[in-house]
Amino acid sequence: MSTTMPKVAEITRKWYILDAADKPLGRTAAVAASILRGKHKPIFAPNCDCGDHVIIINAEKAVLTGKKLDQKMYRRHSGWIGGLKEVQYSKLMKERPELAMMLAVKGMVPDTVIGRKALTRCRVFRGAEHTHAAQKPQAWTL
């Protein structure tokens, strides 16, 4: 038995919509990362970029379980002394829920060239409307 490698010409990229309303943020991000990598396809190979496009809607309605809204922090550092910025997820989910979802997806794709390329195929929207109706996306059933 031989193993086949997916070729660039064979890869077809579909568009999927994930609805994050009333679902845990991490569960939605895990499903999105799996679709972005292409793990749901029979031609999946870990060294090839064969994933699909993902549109995540209703990011503001995603829930964080437990005490994560109050205890979890988004941290970034400017590189300078005293340049640490911290934001609680309760404030982040109110002001920029798209960023919170994108950070969760980013943490679940590999930190390689293929993972960074896969992240460019992820679009996150705050509400139920999105701007990619022309691509005819299909609803992903969990």
User: For the whole model, what pTM was predicted?
Assistant: 0.92
Gyration radius of the chain's alpha carbons: 17
Domain boundaries, the chain: 15-139
The answer to whether the beta carbons of residues 89 and 74 sit under 8 Å apart is: yes
Written as one letter, the residue type at 128 is A
Class of the CATH-defined domain 15-139 = alpha beta
| Tens digits of residue pLDDT in 1-15 | 787 888 888 899 999
Q: What is the pLDDT of residues 24-53, one digit of tens each?
A: 999 999 999 999 999 999 999 999 999 999
For the chain, helix, strand, coil in percent to 5 are: 35, 20, 50
Query: Alpha-carbon distance 63 to 124, whole Å?
Result: 15
